[in-house]
Amino acid sequence: MKWTYFHRMASPKWFYDFSGKILPWVGVLALVLVAGGLTWGLLFTQPDYLQGNSYRIIFLHVPSASLAMTVYVGLAVAASIGFIWKIKLADMAVSCLAPIGASFCALALVTGAIWGKPTWGTWWVWDARLTSMLILLFLYFGLIALREAFDSRETASRACAILAMVGVVNIPIIKYSVEWWNTLHQGSTIRITEESTMAMEMLIPLLMSIAGFYLFCLFVFLLRIRAEILSREQRTKWVRHLLGANS
Amino acid sequence: MSLSAGLGVILKRDLQLAFRNRGDLINPLVFFLLVASLFPLGVGPSSDVLLIMGGGVVWVSALLANLLAMDSLFRSDYEDGSLEQLMLSPTPLWMVAMTKVLAHWLVTGLPITLLAPVIAVMFGLPSQALPAVVMTLLLGTPMLSLIGAIGAGLTVGLRKGGILLSLLTLPLYIPVLILGTGAIDAAVNELPWHAHLMWQGVLVVLGVTFAPLAIGASLRVSVSG
Amino acid sequence: MYFEDLNALISMDGHGPYVWACYGLGMIVLAWNLLTPLRQNRAVAADIQRRARRERVQQSKQ
């Protein structure tokens, strides 16, 4: 493979064309998987013998929690690529990923809390996983707020890149320290669930829903970054040509 | 001028500036005492509750006082242009940043650490916990300063940096807080607390290794932007 | 379908409000993620076209 391939991939125009081609496929597949997984989980599976019907929330909760984590790591990878090689496209990816990740992080938290009410009898438990998800949400808020604070796009993306890299180094430290803190004060908490082998019947819709959420995330990410490309490249010929704004 | 002499000059200058502004020196300490004394007023003076909370209150107050002081770390240098001059000097920026953080810690983190046992006693912590309070803060506050300096570097160019700074740095302070209060809790319960201290040492080593690079990069972004 | 009728589906043995609240919120988050970039896209396109029109008008005046 030639190196020029990577350079081409980093060019906004190439990416705009390429993402336009895969966009419908990603969208349709995401729709099918999300709709299928959620409907299956919601309507057709047996209730859990311990948690009853409230366990149906996991078909939403698990995918969004997993996405929240993955998106932050992806964001940090994009941030370091953008920071080191000064690739514009990577900067755009960082700015597009932050709100998506934050929204799924918030969804994971809220669904976790709602699930806790019938299961634990309380809305919020300072459980290790919920707590680190809350901290992750704060990290997302920090990134979004920092980007908003700068007037210049260039400065904002470099500042956000540094913050994202610092954040991703800290995530494992935060995660382990929160877990350790949780075991230390075990008296006040309840364990989330027994490590149970999940029935096939529940696992398949869950996996479907996870795959669907990831694809959905990819889909909306592509939508966002395409808008961002148009906005940042609006003075170039190809964008003006594309939108029929050529004089 | 040699490298160490240059850094020495920066250190001396920062300390001198700090001692000329007595207010800036005393305010974080007063804030520290004030925040800590709000807790008994908020939850009631029952000594059992205060004993359970003591370690956490000392740490949270120290953390907030440190955060409050962090905003001024690069602010005046940025505003009068001396930060730009420092960046033009042949001394590597991360070394300059380290020196400035050290100077800042000497006038905020260290006094807070020395004052902490007073608050610990006021919360009725047993005497065997006092060494834990001092030691965890001695290892923890430099870490807080290092992390805070990254945020301070990122926000120094912004007009309203203060509240943003806390949003950026507080989540990153959490591991330091957990280890610090964990050690104090262990000491209060007469359990060994050296393992916690060693983990804090690990964090400090990590922080000293990586944070200066991030501080340098963030200053570069703020000054060039 | 696991549930016998619509009422059972809605109440879910008492867990209904929790489950449906979650799914409702989930749909809101998905819809928000979908609509924000679409709106943004339209705004950017309109902006570029407006600017181009203005430039054309200025050019023709000269």
Preferred mutation among B172, B199, B213, B219 to probe A, highest tally of A CBs within 10 A? B172
Query: What are the b/e assignments for A27-39, b being 16+ CB within 10 Å?
Result: bebbeebbeebbe
Q: Which residues of B touch A162 (CB under 8 A)?
A: 150, 154, 214, 217-218, 221
Task: List the domain boundaries for chain A.
Answer: 23-187+199-242
- Contact call for C and A: 3+ CB–CB distances under 8 Å: yes
Min Cα distance B2 → chain A (Å) is: 31
Yes or no, beta carbons of C49 and A34 under 8 Å apart: no
Q: What is the CA radius of gyration of chain A?
A: 21
pLDDT band at B148 (very low <50, low <70, confident <90, very high): very high
- Give the single-character DSSP code of A52: B
Classify A48 as helix, strand or coil.
strand
DSSP string of A149-177, one letter each residue: H-SSHHHHHHHHHHHHHHHHHHHHHHHHH
How many domains are there within chain B? 1
Q: Which domain holds residue B150?
A: 3-224
Q: Cβ(A128)–Cβ(A112) under 8 Å? A: no
Cα gap B74→A191, rounded to integer Å = 45
Q: Is A79 on the interface with C (CB under 8 A)?
A: no
Yes or no, beta carbons of B154 and A173 under 8 Å apart: no
Cα gap A40→A24, rounded to integer Å = 24
Q: Cβ(A82)–Cβ(A91) under 8 Å? A: yes
pLDDT the model gives residue B52: 87
ipTM given for this complex: 0.90
pLDDT the model gives residue C62: 75
Q: Which residues of C touch A223 (CB under 8 A)?
A: 34, 37-38, 41
pTM of the full predicted structure? 0.90
Among B154, B172, B175, beta carbon nearest to A146: B154
Yes or no, beta carbons of B172 and A170 under 8 Å apart: yes
How many CA atoms lie within 13 Å of A61's alpha carbon, on the beta-carbon side?
A: 21
Q: Which residues of C touch A220 (CB under 8 A)?
A: 33-34, 37
How many CA atoms lie within 13 Å of A175's alpha carbon, on the beta-carbon side?
A: 10
Cα gap B218→B216, rounded to integer Å = 5
| Beta carbons within 8 Å of A23's beta carbon, 6+ residues apart | A219, A222, A223, A226
Cα gap A177→A188, rounded to integer Å = 17
Q: What is the pLDDT of residues B45-74, one digit of tens each?
A: 888 888 888 899 999 999 999 998 888 888
Percent of chain B whose pLDDT exceeds 90: 55
Q: Helix, strand, coil proportions of chain A in percent (round to 5)?
A: 80, 0, 20
Yes or no, beta carbons of B225 and A159 under 8 Å apart: yes
Sign of CA dihedral A141, A143, A146, A152: negative
Preferred mutation among B60, B146, B167, B199 to probe A, highest tally of A CBs within 10 A? B167
Over chain A (247 residues), the average pLDDT of each successive run of 10 is 65 88 94 91 77 81 92 94 88 92 95 85 83 93 92 88 92 87 60 55 87 95 92 84 69
